[in-house]
Structure 1
Amino acid sequence: YVKNQHFFSSLYFYFVEELRKLSWSGIPRQVRPITWKLLSGYLPANAERRESVLQRKRQEYFGFIQQYYDSRNDEHHQDTYRQIHIDIPRMSPEWLVLQPEVVEIFERILFIWAIRHPASGYVQGINDLVTPFFVVYVFEYIEEEVENFDVSSLQEEALRNIEADSFWCMSKLLDGIQDNYTFAQPGIQKKVKALEELVSRIDESVHRHMHHYEVEYLQFAFRWMNNLLMRELPLRCTIRLWDTYQAEPEGFSHFHLYVCAAFLVRWRKEILEERDFQGLMILLQNLPTMHWGNEEVSVLLAEAYRLKFAFADAPNHYKR
């Protein structure tokens, strides 16, 4: 029995490591849903166990709905639910979050997560993290492009599966970055400080330029950490980025720092051309990525990997 256990654990490790290597450079659309579930640890590598695990986790999630969701109108949960209700229509892409079924699904996912994680509760920024999972898991049930797709045309069982799977995978992601969302958001504060130190060594000209015009990194990079660059990139780019984040060890925390550094330095020419605080802030909060696609993201990730390789073990520049 012990030998068998060791064999299967070794096989699992090999399978997942190989899957990570293949996924780092991007995952084909048709296999992305199952690959994300495997890489996040939501699905077991053992194919025979997958269906039973899915059924159990989906039932567990809807058990939470039955147990907790009616409490959203209770006095001690009202503020949480109200804030979620306000934030969802402000999200992007607009075509998705204006659909009533999607709003209801997102409200349930976020409310259940918040009351099951009282150490942080709901914090603005967490709402954005549902969208990539939701959109990718819709791909399991449709052939056409997801953009402008009417979610209400899906069968009820499919919608329930998408909702539960999105909840669990978002929860797995947040387990690794929860200090980003506890009181005073210390994780984000540390990451912004680390980004400043990193950029000062990667590109001293950019760093000094921003310092000269009194631009604080927290003024633009807080959002980059809080929303994992989702407000800076089109959704298609975020999904491609997350292929790599899920393939990279500590992708959403440690590697994201290097992606942010590469992203900032990518705009060095435009940054150095701005000659006042206001111009710099307008640029940094509205970077022109609307037409970005896989090619731009691949270049960004390659540069981030280079920076990580060059600087991750240099204690003088950055302490994890």
Structure 2
Amino acid sequence: MEKYKARLEEIKSILNQDSIDVNKLRKLSSFSCPNEGGLRSLIWKILLNYLPSDRKKWPELLKRRRNEYRDFVRDMIIRPGYKENENCELDHPLNSNPSSEWSSYFKDNEVLVQIDKDVRRLCPDLFFFQKPTEFPCEEIKNAADAERYQSLRKRVATTQLKADEVCKNRLGITNFKSDPKKFKEEQNEYSYLPIGQEAHWEIVERILFIYAKLNPGCSYVQGMNEVVGPIYFIFANDPDIEWRRHAEADCFFCFNNLMGLEGVRENFELVLDNTQLGIASNMKKLYDMVKANDVAVYNVLEKQSLKPEFFAFRWITLLLSQEFKLPEVISLWDVLFSDSKTLDFLIHVCCAMILIQRDQLLSGDFSSNIKTLQNYPNNVDIMHIVDKAKHLRKK
């Protein structure tokens, strides 16, 4: 307890300096960040390179970034058809011009529907994401802008209705067949809040949709919701109301920076699977590390054909967000974010997880071992795994 208090005071002292010693902050945070007074929220913003070490630059940077994000919302969530094209002709849904905003709108709907399915199920054991946010999108909340700005949840509902079975009658007239009961059940799986309110999962949906729009090469890949979720959770629960007010914008840029770290985004890009940057390469690094540290465990994995795709694909891609409960994931991410080589240390953590289950793996058959790795035992302390990973790195 005394060591914790001393570390807490040292971190507070660092954060209060005009010029923050980021290297020292990383070192102290590698033992897990304290959360008193919203310190973790602030530390993550620094470790994810959102806030610079010079505190004097914060006000201007935050104002610029938050305004930039609001512009993204206005430009990318706005309903098409309200802008005019270069020839001053009103755009319309049947416009075949590639530059038509309606054309982009329909293409984006495919991505949006997938995002919607994923975020509505975010952290099902935690009610937080179903609760209304204090700060819904101003454009959507404001009745005066209701005709210009369409909430994503309405857009998804409209898209799903229009995607119902299409058939033609004898006269060649197109008819739409839908199953109202099935559609209603799907929409009510998670009840929508009243108009003017937004649930936290809807905020995450907007973040991911804008990210997909700005990054067409990667777009949205299933699982990104599990990566952005914990970051938003920390920011949206900051005790400082001003930090909470801008949790959405701040989370967007921190998520963007996290995806920009070496190797993190590449894990989501299938085209890189067979390169030195893709997820396949990282899974091979993991198994090579296991072999170098415990050949007996490696031989079992090989003999039983326990391929890393069966479990390590999810571990590495989702930064272990699905293997532990949220409080443990947050503590683990304190350590990962504090490391200058996040992905490298993540692979060491994954190796530690395998080696800690050594006795179970050596005595188990394929069925029991795959169960152990796909449903990692919850009786292992996360910091024990971190300590083991640090020891492996030093070897």
Q: Same fold (TM over 0.5)?
A: yes
For 1:96, which of 110, 118, 128 is the aligned residue?
A: 128
Q: Deviations over 1:44-64 (max 9, x none)?
A: 222222122112111111110
For 2:23, which of 17, 22, 25 is the aligned residue?
A: 17
Alpha-carbon shift at residue 161 of structure 1 (Å): 0.6
Structure scoring higher RCO (CA < 8 A, sep ≥ 6) equals: 1
Q: Partner residue of 2:34?
A: 28
For 1:86, which of 96, 112, 117 is the aligned residue?
A: 117
Moved over 6 A (4+): 11-14
Consecutive unaligned residues of structure 2, counting only runs of 5 or more, are 1-16, 81-101, 132-197
For 2:73, which of 65, 82, 86 is the aligned residue?
A: 65
Q: Partner residue of 1:4?
A: none
In 2, the alpha carbon distance for the partners of 1:24 and 1:139 equals: 22
Cα 1:222–1:71, aligned 2, differ >3 Å: closer, same or farther?
farther
Cα 1:103–1:259, aligned 2, differ >3 Å: closer, same or farther?
same
Q: Partner residue of 2:355?
A: 265
Q: Partner residue of 2:335?
A: 244
Q: Partner residue of 2:169?
A: none
Alignment of 1:1-320 (within 5 A): 15-30=21-36, 31-70=39-78, 74-94=105-125, 95-99=127-131, 101-141=199-239, 160-176=245-261, 177-184=264-271, 186=273, 187-251=278-342, 253-275=343-365, 277-289=366-378, 296-310=381-395
Q: Deviations over 1:264-304 (max 9, x none)?
A: 111112222322x2222222111122x56xxx222211211
In 2, the alpha carbon distance for the partners of 1:71 and 1:249 equals: 41
In 2, the alpha carbon distance for the partners of 1:133 and 1:247 equals: 14
CA RMSD of aligned residues (A): 2.2
- Is contact 1:71–1:77 with CA below 8 Å preserved after alignment? no
In 2, the alpha carbon distance for the partners of 1:169 and 1:262 equals: 27
Kindly tell me the number of residue pairs found equivalent between the two proteins: 281
TM-score by length of 1: 0.82
Alpha-carbon shift at residue 89 of structure 1 (Å): 2.5
- Is contact 2:328–2:382 with CA below 8 Å preserved after alignment? yes
- Amino acid corresponding to residue 40 of structure 1 in structure 2: L
- Is contact 2:122–2:201 with CA below 8 Å preserved after alignment? no
Cα 1:96–1:188, aligned 2, differ >3 Å: closer, same or farther?
farther
- Is contact 2:30–2:338 with CA below 8 Å preserved after alignment? yes
Alpha-carbon shift at residue 250 of structure 1 (Å): 1.4
Question: Among the aligned pairs, what percent are the same residue?
Answer: 30
- Is contact 1:93–1:235 with CA below 8 Å preserved after alignment? no
Cα 1:159–1:249, aligned 2, differ >3 Å: closer, same or farther?
closer
Q: Which structure shows the bigger proportion of residues in helix conformation?
A: 1
